Amino acid sequence: MGKDINKATHQEMRSLVCAQCHVEYYFNKNTPGKEGVPYLTFPWKDGMSVEAMEKYYDDMDFKDWTHKLSKAPMLKAQHPGYETYLTGVHADRGVSCADCHMPYKSESGQKFTDHHIQSPLNNIANSCQVCHREEAEKLRANVYDRQQKAAESRLKLEDALVKMHVEAKKCWDLGATEDQMKAILMDIRHAQWRWDYAAASHGASFHSPVEIGRVLSSGLDKATEGRVKLARLLAELGHNKPVEMPDLSTKEKAQEYIGLDMEKLRKEKQEFKDNLLPKWLEAAEKREANYGSKQQVSATN
C-alpha cells in the first residue's frame, strides 16, 4: 500500500493485526526475486474496492480456475473482510476490529482486550453497548435485518449466475466460437466475482451494508447484461426458446448435476478428521498452554 507501518496509530494497528489474514489475496509465482515461489500478494495496486481488485486481476490475466460448464475464467474471493470494513461507518468513526471482536475487560484492576475472539453479539454489553445505548435485542435485530436484506439480493444474483453458466454451456454445445463467447464469459467472471466478494467477506453485510448492497446490485447489472448477450447469441445459433434448467432444488441434486464425487469427498474429509485434525489440536493445546500468563497478557495489550 506504500504506507509506513511505523506511522500507523495504535487504533489502526488493532485492525491491521486482523488484516494480516482477513483480506483478499492470491499467491503470485512470478514476484520479482521470488520466481517459482507462491508468494503471498494483496491485489491492492489499483485500490481496495471490488472494481479495483477486479481490474488488477484482469490486467494480469489471472484466474483461479476455469468453470466446467461455462468455461469462464473465474476468480475466487478469499475473505475481503478488511477491505469491506474500511468502507463502513464503524471504520469511519475510528472503531477498530478489536473494539468489537475483542472488547476490553478488567481483571484484578488491569484493563486488557478479551482474547476470546468472537462475534460481538455474544458479548453485546462489552462491545455494542459501550457506544450504543439501545437494548441488546434491538441491536441484535438490527444486525440480522441488515444481513437478511443482503442475503435477498445475493440469492437473486446466485440464481442469475446459475442460469448464465447453463446458458453458456448451451452456446458451446451449439457450436459457439471463443470470439462469440469472450464478452459473455467476462460478464460471468465479473458478476460472480461480485457475488463471491459479498458472500466471502464475512460480516460485511453488517460492517458495510451500503457498500455490499452496491456490490451486489452491480453484480446483478453484470448478470443482466450477460444474459441479454446470451439470449442474442442463442438466437443466432438457432435456439429461440428458454434454455432448460436443471433441477437444483436440493444440495444433493446440485452436487450430482455438477459431477461432484461426494463419496470420495466424504472419505477424504473423514481421513482428515481422523488423522490430521488430532495432530493440529494437540499442537494448538501445547502452544496455548501458557496463553493465560501475565507475561502474555502484558505482551498482547
More confident call, 238 vs 109: 238
Which domains does the chain show, CATH number per domain?
5-245 (1.20.140.10), 248-276 (no CATH)
Q: What angle do CA 118, 119, 124 make, to 5 degrees?
A: 115
On the question of pLDDT at 296 being above 70, the answer is no
Entry field: residues in the chain: 301
* Residue range 262-291, pLDDT digits in tens: 999 999 999 999 999 999 999 999 988 887
Helices marked H in 20-135: 50-59, 81-85, 89-92, 97-101
Structural contact between residues 209 and 201, judged by C-beta atoms closer than 8 angstroms: no
- Here the cell at position 204 is 460485511
Largest CA distance in the chain: 78
CA distance 24 to 43: 7
On the question of pLDDT at 297 being above 60, the answer is no
CA distance 289 to 284: 8
pLDDT value of position 290: 80
User: Smallest Cα–Cα separation from 193: which of 69, 41, 73?
Assistant: 73
pLDDT above 90 coverage of the chain, percent: 86
Q: Strand pairing partners for 39? A: 28
Question: Cα 94 from chain centroid?
Answer: 23
Q: Strand pairing partners for 41? A: 26
Question: Cα 210 from chain centroid?
Answer: 16
Residue that the C-alpha cell 436443471 belongs to = 246
Average pLDDT over residues 157-168: 98
On the question of pLDDT at 185 being above 70, the answer is yes
* Residue range 65-118, pLDDT digits in tens: 999 999 999 999 999 999 999 999 999 999 999 999 999 988 888 998 998 899
Average pLDDT over residues 246-253: 94
